[in-house]
Structure 1
Amino acid sequence: MLQQTPTDPGIDVPAWTPELLREFLEETFNVEYLTPSCRRLMKELGLSYQKPRRTAAEAEPEDREEFHDDLKKK
């Protein structure tokens, strides 16, 4: 199931995360795993989990300007 996207089993997110996997295993198979163990399981299956990073392009224009102004002051 992890080789497919979470949308296949009906979860409305684009990719698996260790926390999502932990919740899915508990709800679907009634098996409890810790989040670090889910990271290990994903790694063993050849999956990598990367934390999403917010980019400046996604920020509100006012927030970007304020950030750049603060950066220039420093």
Structure 2
Amino acid sequence: MEPYSALFLTIGVALLLLSWVQLLITSSNEDYTWALCTLILPPVSYLYGLFRLDKAMDAIATAALGWVLILLACAT
């Protein structure tokens, strides 16, 4: 694995983890049930973020950047 693709992959995964934590905090401030769904089923938290884009825009943008970096790592 090339050094740049390893770096992109590591940063991309870290950004995805950070966005999940941001969504966990946002959903726990909004509703208890969404917080539990976010904790147990992480893909559901991104569905919540898409429905509540006004509150979770930063987390969705962080996740999108993470996916771009992961795709760049796989392409190289």
TM-score, normalised via structure 1 length: 0.30
- Larger helix proportion, structure 1 or 2? 2
**Which of the pair has more CA radius of gyration?**
1
Q: Which fold has the larger relative contact order, with Cα–Cα distance below 8 Å and residues 6 or more apart in sequence? A: 2
TM-score, normalised via structure 2 length: 0.30
